[in-house]
Structure 1
């Protein structure tokens, strides 16, 4: 892989989020804004070019939280995330926080038309294929994500053999990486790319059986 200006996520980035978690105030943010810009924002911006050719333009989320409808009025996110979207509607996400690096990919939230197609596919022969695929991901230390209902969706029996899949309202795989020396080096880019590429079999299943929504999608 051709090297770029991305040199890894510096230790100061993780230290910044550790401190922000302990003092999530506007006063702290103003005092440490330079740390965010240099140690957090700049490494994310350095990832835009090397990831764009294969995965598309990377959108870096704002650090401010939307607290209008939340009981938690902490003004800032204690992580920094970025997302891009593939041609089939699958999302590619990465995030750093005080605990390390998170890399994920799939359909974060299924719109109503997608949800109907997803459940119909799970209820068909394709459902067993998805179940086997997800089990293989678990064997590779991936976590299976996506919000889920507490019980079977309406119209499906509670004892359905794949009820654990029918309950999902999103479907993605992710890997979490603790802070290690390689995270502070260009090898972090290689790990992000490797993890996103590994999600290709899941994307293939989702794109074949679900596909993009014609409605407004949920956002990461």
Structure 2
């Protein structure tokens, strides 16, 4: 039997995560797990599958938090996220939580070597300006740049480097916080996510060409 087609994210999912932020317990989760599967997990899975021909296979992140090294012992994440892409470490991101939908992409650094390659590409007189143009276009389109960054300049680069702000970054995710528009609970959500991911494509392609993600 084929998986159900994507028809939108029910509003209940956003409300569920708002409540989970207040009552992050195993009892609350168990009480709502069946509906979470139907109204959050299954639509997310169906959307990722619908877009996989263009953006590559996707995976949904586990709802459970890793508590081994965390002082916060809340057992569950307060959002459901998915990542798609054909290459390891770079791709497109989707998240549904109490604030609604977040969509975007880029790369998360998994090693100092990746960050070093990223900074070398930013420093380059060819690939650096190309990234500047990509970033400017994304900011104009309503995305924000997120990810780990230094407060000061990285070692080995001049304080007056023309791309110092980009050099401070260890990784780069371009995210658009969509919220809860009327189309979130309709099939149009697939078109909106597709359009946003296409906007991010120049960034993911730049990363794959110049950072060579491990």
Give the alignment's TM-score, normalised by structure 2: 0.91
Output aligned runs, 1:16-95, within 5 Å.
Answer: 16-87=16-87, 89-95=89-95
- SS of 1:152 mapped into structure 2: coil
Q: Which runs of 5+ in 1 are unaligned?
A: 214-220
Q: How many residues align?
A: 210
User: Gaps (5+ residues) in structure 2?
Assistant: none
1:170-189 counterparts in 2 under 5 A? 170-189=171-190
Residue pair 1:88, 1:211 contacting (<8 A) in 2 also: no
Partners in 1 of 2:160 and 2:110 — Cα distance? 23
Do the aligned residues in 2 keep the contact of 1:109 with 1:146 (CA within 8 Å)? no
Distance in 1 between the 2:189 and 2:109 partners?
27
Q: Check whether the contact 2:207–2:213 (CA below 8 A) recurs between aligned residues.
A: no
Conservation of the 8 A alpha-carbon contact between 1:95 and 1:103: yes
Residues 133-178 of structure 1 deviation map (CA, whole Å, 9 limit, x = unaligned): 2122111111112210111111112332211111111112111111
Return the alpha-carbon distance in structure 1 between the equivalents of residues 37 and 88 of structure 2.
33
Residue 130 (structure 2) aligns with: 129
How far did 1:11 drift?
0.8
Distance in 1 (CA, whole Å) between partners of 2:49 and 2:139 is 31
Q: 1:118 to 1:189 in 2, by over 3 A?
A: same
Q: Which runs of 4+ in 1 moved over 4 A?
A: none
Residue in 2 that maps onto 1:196: 197
* Cα distance change, pair 88–80 in 1 and its aligned pair in 2 (3 A): closer
Deviates more, 1:77-86 or 1:104-113: 104-113
Residue equivalent to 2:157: 156
In the alignment, the residues of structure 1 paired with residue 204 and residue 21 of structure 2 have an alpha-carbon distance, to the nearest angstrom, of 34
Q: What is the RMSD of the two structures over their aligned residues, measured on CA atoms?
A: 1.7
Q: Distance in 2 between matches of 1:143 and 1:209?
A: 21
Q: Deviations over 1:35-80 (max 9, x none)?
A: 2111111111222431221122211111111111111111111100
